[in-house]
Amino acid sequence: MSKKLRVGILFGGKSAEHEASLQSAKNIIAAIDRDRYDILLIGIDKEGRWQIGDSSRPILNPDNPEIISLGRGDNYLALIPGQCDGNLVRVGSQEPVEAVDVVFPVLHGPFGEDGTVQGFLKLAGIPFVGSSVLGSAVGMDKDVMKRLLREEGIPVCNFKTVYAHERGQLIYEQIQTYFGVPFFIKPANLGSSVGVYKVHNADEFTSALYNAFQFDNKVLIEEFVEGREIECAVLGNENPLASVPGEVLPSHEFYSYEAKYLDENGAVLDIPANLSEETVHKVKELSIRAFKAICCEGMARVDCFLKNDGTVLVNELNTIPGFTSISMYPKLWEASGIPYKNLIDRLIELALKRHVEERKLRTSYELV
């Protein structure tokens, strides 16, 4: 029997999406094939400290999304690039932890999904699941993402980017005239609908701006698109594949954090979506084009709007999509013929394949 791969599952994180990460990690830990993999649980607390997760209780209150929390590990860890006998070491004793073959970052938001952890792992020479540094960074920044998509000729909704030092120059009546009402305000570098507000009047505008700037120094103002919310999952490296599209039917005013993670009845996921063959083709084609445009690898969930006139707009891409029991990404692939457990296998295979290819590249220059 071949040796099991040792997979480091990295979860938690110093982000407003910490709890969403715990929910995703809980499901991956439960679903991963223990006949193929040994796992090392690495929890990141809200201060950014890495620790070996308690294998018996890595996540506390796992079935209650309102009070879910990271279990206290028995040792803090450091990742040391170039370490010969394993990159992970215990902070106190400096003893190495058994080396991992690949890391699966189940992190959402800044300090995990934005290229920071990916760059750290790349420096350490450890293969990891998902996009590398560039794709992760662009995928996190909605402003840069939308500008790249637009440059590629991919339709996106109208938006305006505002920096913190410019907020005093904003006048509600001018924004209302340009976008109409309602419109959305959201942090540029955050996901899971954290800090997203639907604005209907001047009072809500002032409050939404204040709250969105609590999470980021760059905020997007976006038009409200009348239409259906369609999502598509993409999987692969150089030749990515698109899943069947699904539709989000939120019971809340929009697909908020509460609808995604706290309210079991927050949304109905219609998979596959009831779409014409032509629209399915259009969504899948745009999803793959968007995936390539922002240099994604491994996986991404592409969120689209289908307008009443049949136009498809790409709203955003999530390079580490949710993996909870009700998340779209695994459900879309299950409907496309790849069950959850096999999806994890495919993502790990893609990570290892990329690592092998990258190791072939030269890191020194010699005159011939």
pLDDT, tens digit, 9 for 90 and up, residues 9-49: 999 999 888 998 999 999 999 999 999 999 999 999 999 99
Strands, E, within the chain: which ranges?
Answer: 5-12, 37-44, 50-52, 59-60, 69-70, 75-79, 88-90, 102-106, 159-163, 183-187, 197-199, 218-223, 227-236, 241-242, 246-250, 267-270, 298-307, 312-318
**159-223: what CATH class?**
alpha beta
Tokens 């120094």, residue located: 217
* Global confidence as pTM: 0.91
State yes or no: pLDDT of 50 exceeds 80.
yes
Q: Which of 79-93, 157-171, 192-206 has the lowest mean pLDDT?
A: 79-93
Q: What is the pLDDT of residue 24?
A: 92
Q: What is the reported pLDDT for 253?
A: 61
| Range name among 74-83, 249-258, 277-286 with the lowest pLDDT average | 249-258
Task: Please give the CATH topology (third level) of the domain spanning 5-128.
Answer: Rossmann fold (3.40.50)
SS3 168: helix
Instruction: Give pLDDT, residue 93.
Output: 79
Helix (H, G, I), strand (E, B) or coil at 160: strand
Question: Which numeric CATH code is attached to 139-154+227-356?
Answer: 3.30.470.20
Residue 319 to residue 303: CA distance in whole angstroms: 11
Q: In this predicted model, what pLDDT tens digit does every residue of 101-134 receive, in sequence order?
A: 999 999 998 899 999 999 999 999 999 999 999 9
Give yes or no for a contact between 101 and 8, defined as CB atoms under 8 angstroms apart: no
The pLDDT-based confidence of 257 (bands split at 50, 70, 90) is low
Work out the number of other CB atoms within 10 angstroms of the CB of residue 339: 12
Residue 15: the pLDDT is 87
Residue 192 to residue 17: CA distance in whole angstroms? 7
Q: What is the pLDDT of residue 73?
A: 66
Domain spans of the chain? 5-128, 139-154+227-356, 159-223
- So what's the pLDDT on residue 97? 87
Three-state DSSP at 177 gives: helix
Better pLDDT: 204 or 67: 204
Rg (CA), the chain: 21
- Mark 88-116 as b/e (b = at least 16 C-beta within 10 Å): bbbeeeeeebeebbbbbbbbbbbbbbbbb
pLDDT digits (tens, 9 = 90+) for 147-178: 999 999 999 999 999 999 999 899 999 999 99
